[in-house]
Amino acid sequence: MAALLFGALQAHNERVPIHTARIIGVALAAATLACEPTLAQERLGPVALKDLVPAGDPLAFHDLQFDARFAQGAVEYLRSGNSKVLGRLSDSAAAAHLLSHARNFDYDVPKDSAAALVGNLLAPTSEHVGRVDACAKAIDFFYGQMLRNPQWVNDALRYLPADFRYHGSLFLIFGYDIGVAFGAAASLNCGHPHFEAHPSELTYYAVHELHHVGFMAYQPPPRLSDLRTCADVLRLVKYSTQLEGMAVWAVYARRRDEGALDNDPDYVALADEAAMERDEASYFADFHYLERRSAEPANEAAWAVVERMSGGRRLWYRVGARMAARIEGALGRAELVNLVRSGPSSFLDVYLRLKPERAGIRGSGPRGGRNETLRANDRR
């Protein structure tokens, strides 16, 4: 079947543009995955963004690769138990990316080597084996619908400085978080249940993580093991508020236009003005708590702030997105993008200057009904 499909593609190449033929080839190769996983693994290598768009398209100037080989290898290993696959995955660029991320953000996974990390991620538990089919479907979507029209990459670029260029990869991996970014690379977890329920979420999360890649090019992330004082933890809170808030906001318009706001709790929360008022008050209560303890060692209570910000009510995601929306609504997208260069402290300062009478723990959301800034940006 695969030989026939690729033979047809080769014959067709003379009659269609190269970028169109490449898209067709990727889609046809992905279609063989379920019935011929080994052949599909050999056929589906990295795909360059520049090969998916016409030569004059601005996206053609970005050196961005889409690479699902780690996810493919995970499917192969979990189905076959072939230990040679683990060695190949341990040597992959995707594994190096995950290891770098784990070391910088001190994830609770083996960090001694890529081999140890990969072995941990792919330990053949019943839970992992049960995610194989979902991962295979995610690979199909990644190499199919996502790459058929990659203009969604512009959603991230619209919220990054105009001189930014990608020089890295978006990996599809298995078993690590839901999506992460570090350095020039980002990754999505093909086995995460969120993507099984809504495959299009892969695209939205790709925009989110690729915005992180651009943001980190201007504002490198702190290393968690270097944070010693409450001032250091506050610096992490400020950083993550802008990093995550702008990434959440960058995806808002596409989700709205495609009717997908209700598929992610962060966007559901943003539409609930009363809840966002409470979340913003909680955010600034913790913010000022760290400010008051600035010179003190970062103890368990200080790190509990990070837990509240990143998990549960996800304060730095939601409040950060609200800040980004308000800044864009009041000052325009160009000013919001300029703050990528200026950094997190400037991002917070600009937001607080917009509502000086309500700065701090009293909250600073608009009064009444649906979020007025979201409504204003709907019209942009």
What secondary structure does DSSP assign to 202-232, as a single string?
HHHHHHHHHHHHHHHHHSPPPPGGG--BHHH
pLDDT of res. 45: 86
Burial zone of 51 (CB within 10 Å; 0-12 exposed, 13-18 middle, 19+ buried): middle
Give the C-alpha separation, 220 to 159, whole Å. 17
Is the model's pTM score more than 0.95?
no
| End-to-end CA gap in the chain | 48
**Site of tokens 């890649």:** 213
Nearest to 312, CA basis, from 245, 250, 261, 266? 266
Other CB atoms within a 10 A radius of the CB of residue 130 amount to 11
Do 336 and 246 form a contact (C-beta atoms < 8 A)?
A: yes
DSSP-derived pairing of the beta strands 167-173 and 185-189: parallel
Looking at residue 365, the DSSP 8-state letter turns out to be P
Give the C-alpha separation, 82 to 78, whole Å. 8
What is the C-alpha radius of gyration for the chain, rounded to an integer number of angstroms?
Answer: 22
At 226, which amino acid appears?
D
- H runs (alpha helix) in 251-272: 252-257, 265-270
Helix, coil or strand: residue 45 = coil
Please list the pLDDT of the chain residue by residue as tens digits (380 residues).
Answer: 333 233 333 333 333 343 444 444 444 444 444 443 433 344 478 999 999 999 999 999 999 999 999 999 999 999 999 999 999 999 999 999 999 999 999 999 999 999 999 999 999 777 788 899 999 999 999 999 999 999 999 999 999 999 999 999 999 999 999 999 999 999 999 999 999 989 999 999 999 999 999 999 999 999 999 999 999 999 999 999 999 999 999 999 999 999 999 999 999 999 999 999 999 999 999 999 999 999 999 999 999 999 999 998 999 999 999 999 999 999 999 999 999 999 999 999 999 999 754 443 333 333 333 333 333 333 23
pLDDT of res. 129: 85
pLDDT of res. 202: 98
Looking at residue 54, the DSSP 8-state letter turns out to be -
Nearest to 136, CA basis, from 179, 183, 75, 89? 75
What are the DSSP calls for 58-91, one per residue? GGGGSEEEEE-HHHHHHHHHHHH--HHHHHHHHT
Do 193 and 132 form a contact (C-beta atoms < 8 A)?
A: no
pLDDT of res. 85: 95
Tell me the β-bridge partners of 63.
167
